Amino acid sequence: MTEQIEPDLSVFFTAKSVAIVGASNQFGKVGYDVVHNLAQFGYPGEIIPINPKSKEIQGYKAYKALTDYPGEIELVFISIPSKYIINVIEEMGQLGIMHVVIISAGFRETGSKGARLEQELGEKLKHYGIRAVGPNVVGLVDTHTPLNGSFAARMPIKGNLGFISQSGALITGILDWSLAEGMGFSKFVSLGNKLDLDEVDFVRYLSQDEHTHAILAYLESITYGDKFIEISRQVSQSKPIIVIKSGSSKAGARAASSHTGSMSGADTAYDAAFEKAGVIRARSVEELFDTATAFSTMPLPRGPRLCIITNAGGPGIIATDAAEFAGLELCVLAADTIEYLQSELPAAASTINPIDVLGTGAEREYGLTLNAVLADDNVDMVLVITTPQGMSEPVKVAHKIIELHQQYPDKPIAASYMGGVDLAEGTSILKKNGIPTFAFPERGITSLLGLWKYAKIKQDMSKRLLEPEQFEANKDEVLEIFDSVINKGRVTLLGSEAIAVARAYGILAPDTRTAFSITEALRHAEAIGYPIVMKISSPDIIHKSDIGGIAINVKTEEEVRQQFTKMMNAGRQNYPQAAVMGVDIQEMSKVGRELILGVSEDPQFGHMIMIGSGGIYANYQKDVSFGITPINKIEATTMLERTRIHKILQGVRGEAPSDIERTINTLQRVSQLVTDFPEILEMDINPLFVFDENQGINAVDVKITLDRTKILKRQEEEIS
């Protein structure tokens, strides 16, 4: 329901008075827990239990109904059987209470009856403009107000991470885990069925929340993909968004008729969308929190140059490996830093990165080393590793790290305290003071990497947000072709039609005309000029060359006649069910490097665009990269650069470079085409011939399939 105006969600977290419909004195009931949690965890506002049978709930005066309460109620929590809830919403509407958290389950998740009930509920909410969290949620928590409006058994530690979760159980699990880990949160929000408010609303809200430094989300689906991308792109310029997305989408299955569809995995669209949105994707729950934790307290690094300080070689090497694998750089220390360390550390110490202060390294050695590297301009971030050794002073070292972090607040530090008993106190001190600390060095690297990933997103986002260039295009011609195709009862364009569409958008493609008879074929060949290419024209035959449906270098009328008959027969024999429309007569192209450029529609995110190695083996080469349209030049360039064939296009083995510029331009033009025409369901250009630099490209085979429903809808709109 994000079509509504941007809601102010602050009431959900800072309401001055909350009513609990279904409040209970009975331990074990959700309505007990919510009242208990509000009271126990220090909610400073008015707690108003609503229960028709009790006068008092957990020491608070109870009311029979919302209408009985004499004062103002800002927020309502509901925990009563689902069928009674609509009445409560009606009451709220009458009273002008505009915010509700519907904890109760018993809706869509239970089947069609529940789904109907949920729909009614939605209509009621909409009628009054009431904003709702849920139904089917654990509730929500704000540690700063504090407001624990949930049936979770615990209160999180106050902190700066905001966590949005589509799974309530994940909230209770993470909450319990975070207490042992010493990890703090600003807010927990359980999304539940997302009848009204969804991830987009809370991402937007948390972006403006002063207590939230990073936005974390566990999502199983995204309700409005386009909105999610749009809002996240804005938010990610000011706050990091880190998401774990679970549940493989089955979206890929339908699209198997196009190359683009069949080459994208179930999760490709989410990867492409998150990248476009500036969202950092975590691959596991642990990675989510390891990535997020540093944002609570640490600044962003200016660059990827890491310095490792350790008191033992092995863990230093492990950290080095992990850093290099992750794409961080092991910095080269300044000469005077090395000189200083050489003069202050024992002779056997390693004074080049990773710096090994040796097992004898104690507070003094760690302190002077950390101080020196934090002061070194070549260092962007530091990982401090400590293992339990005879001379270790883990607690003193911890205090030193904290002190130096305050002294150099502009450089992020993470720690790996390798141990669980002798290092427990030091670990606890570090965590309490905001130094991300882990038992294993690799997790420290993940943490610092999170900061660097986000720093890069911030750097790049301004360029990626530039409006895509608009090329001159003949929209009317495309419109006419599409209408004509649909009116003829087809959804797939003939080759000649698809090429006409491409050409209308300035995509270089050969003159192509469909012949429905030999006579017509000869006429077209004459007009185009020999030699020509002939291709069987059928929306149902995907791999034309496999059945001899393509003839190149056709030079004579006689050959045209022969091929026409041969192709029509081959089509009928091999695909008796196929609608063979005729034969496309095409201008002969010189041969270039074979790329594939495609578009397929993703149900969540709209058009997904693809570029990579093409030709008949495209499916086996698996050398493609994806983006979500519309894309600008920067995005198109990045997409192409990610393919292996990009290197070859640049010119290798003494060969001339290819026309990369025009290739990128073609990507942008296709993006514009499908953005202008949402009714394009799939589009493949394969092969897209790319010639030498400045020699252009040639889209010799173009395939377009339309979404009939969308076109009919547009036609209706045009009429009305």
**Helical (H) or strand (E) element with 442:** helix 441-464
For the chain, the straight-line distance linking the first and the last C-alpha, in angstroms and rounded, comes to 26
Q: Is the peptide bond before 301 cis (omega within 30 degrees of 0)?
A: no
Residue 122 or 359 with smaller CB distance to its own copies: 359
Residue 614 or 630 with smaller CB distance to its own copies: 614
Residue of the chain from 192, 367, 441, 495 that contacts its own copies (CB under 8 A): 441
Residue 275 or 356 with smaller CB distance to its own copies: 356
Residue 151 C-beta: closest distance to its own copies, Å = 7
Residue 84 lies near its own copies (rule: CB under 8 A): no
Sign of the four-CA dihedral 210, 214, 218, 223: positive
Residue of the chain from 45, 303, 419, 468 that contacts its own copies (CB under 8 A): 419
The answer to whether the beta carbons of residues 105 and 82 sit under 8 Å apart is yes
Residue of the chain from 5, 180, 335, 719 that contacts its own copies (CB under 8 A): 180
User: What is the footprint of its own copies within residues 148-177 (CB under 8 A)?
Assistant: 151-154, 165-170, 172-177
User: What is the footprint of its own copies within residues 511-540 (CB under 8 A)?
Assistant: none
Only one of the segments 336-344, 437-445, 483-491, 524-532 lies at the binding site for its own copies (rule: CB under 8 A); that segment is: 437-445
Only one of the segments 401-409, 561-569, 646-654, 685-693 lies at the binding site for its own copies (rule: CB under 8 A); that segment is: 646-654
Copy the structure tokens of residue 278: 């500036």
Residue 130 or 423 with smaller CB distance to its own copies: 423
Residue 218 lies near its own copies (rule: CB under 8 A): yes
Q: Which amino acid appears at position 584 of this protein?
A: D
Residue 349 C-beta: closest distance to its own copies, Å = 12
The answer to whether the beta carbons of residues 105 and 141 sit under 8 Å apart is no
Which of left, alpha, beta for 111 (phi over 0: left; psi -120 to 50: alpha)? left
* CA-to-CA separations, 657 to 634, 637, 638, 654, 696, in angstroms, rounded: 20, 16, 18, 9, 12
Residue 439 C-beta: closest distance to its own copies, Å = 5
Residue of the chain from 621, 632, 675, 715 that contacts its own copies (CB under 8 A): 621
Residue 111 or 576 with smaller CB distance to its own copies: 111
Contact residues for 504 (Cβ-Cβ < 8 A; gap 6+): 473, 474, 475, 477, 478, 481
Three-state SS for 48-98 is: EEECCCCCEECCEECECCHHHCCCCCCEEEECCCHHHHHHHHHHHHHHCCC
The answer to whether the beta carbons of residues 203 and 215 sit under 8 Å apart is yes
User: What is the footprint of its own copies within residues 243-262 (CB under 8 A)?
Assistant: 244, 246-248
Residues 108-137: x where in contact with its own copies by CB under 8 A, - otherwise, as a string: -xx---------------------------
Residue 616 or 712 with smaller CB distance to its own copies: 616
Residue 376 or 442 with smaller CB distance to its own copies: 442
Residue 220 lies near its own copies (rule: CB under 8 A): yes
DSSP state of 617: T
User: What is the footprint of its own copies within residues 649-708 (CB under 8 A)?
Assistant: 652-654
> Is residue 176 packed enough to be buried (19+ CB in 10 Å), middle (13-18) or exposed (0-12)?
middle
Residue 642 or 710 with smaller CB distance to its own copies: 642
User: What is the footprint of its own copies within residues 184-203 (CB under 8 A)?
Assistant: none
Contact residues for 439 (Cβ-Cβ < 8 A; gap 6+): 416, 417, 418, 419, 420, 427
User: What is the footprint of its own copies within residues 374-403 (CB under 8 A)?
Assistant: 387-391
The answer to whether the beta carbons of residues 94 and 7 sit under 8 Å apart is no
Residue 622 lies near its own copies (rule: CB under 8 A): yes
* CA-to-CA separations, 545 to 536, 582, 596, 616, in angstroms, rounded: 9, 15, 16, 9
The size of the interface with its own copies (CB under 8 A), counted in residues, is 82
Residue 236 lies near its own copies (rule: CB under 8 A): no
Per DSSP, the residues of 458-507 read HHHHHHHTSPPP-----HHHHHHHHHHHHHTT-SBPPHHHHHHHHHHTT-
User: What is the footprint of its own copies within residues 260-319 (CB under 8 A)?
Assistant: 284-286, 311-315, 317-318
Residue 102 lies near its own copies (rule: CB under 8 A): no
Residue 543 C-beta: closest distance to its own copies, Å = 6
What distance in Å separates the CA atoms of residue 76 and residue 103, rounded to the nearest whole number? 10
Residue 124 or 443 with smaller CB distance to its own copies: 443
Copy the structure tokens of residue 267: 């999760």
The answer to whether the beta carbons of residues 426 and 386 sit under 8 Å apart is yes
Residue 306 C-beta: closest distance to its own copies, Å = 16
What distance in Å separates the CA atoms of residue 15 and residue 104, rounded to the nearest whole number? 20
Residue 271 C-beta: closest distance to its own copies, Å = 13
Residue 153 or 712 with smaller CB distance to its own copies: 153
Residue 342 lies near its own copies (rule: CB under 8 A): no
Residue 478 lies near its own copies (rule: CB under 8 A): no
Q: What is the dihedral of CA 46, 49, 55, 60, to 10 degrees?
A: -40
Contact residues for 161 (Cβ-Cβ < 8 A; gap 6+): 183, 184, 185, 186, 212, 213, 214, 216, 292, 293, 295, 296
Residue 28 C-beta: closest distance to its own copies, Å = 6
Contact residues for 259 (Cβ-Cβ < 8 A; gap 6+): 596, 598, 618, 619, 684, 686
Residue of the chain from 3, 71, 343, 421 that contacts its own copies (CB under 8 A): 421
Residue of the chain from 68, 120, 410, 422 that contacts its own copies (CB under 8 A): 422
- Please list the residues that pair with 63 across neighbouring strands: 50
| Chain centroid to CA 185 | 22
User: What is the footprint of its own copies within residues 540-579 (CB under 8 A)?
Assistant: 543, 545-547
Q: Where are the alpha helices (DSSP H) in 217-362?
A: 225-235, 259-263, 268-277, 285-293, 313-326, 335-344
Residue 11 C-beta: closest distance to its own copies, Å = 27
Residue of the chain from 359, 651, 678, 696 that contacts its own copies (CB under 8 A): 359
Residue 587 or 684 with smaller CB distance to its own copies: 684
Residue of the chain from 10, 56, 96, 617 that contacts its own copies (CB under 8 A): 617
The answer to whether the beta carbons of residues 215 and 235 sit under 8 Å apart is yes
User: What is the footprint of its own copies within residues 27-66 (CB under 8 A)?
Assistant: 28, 30, 33
Residue 597 or 645 with smaller CB distance to its own copies: 645
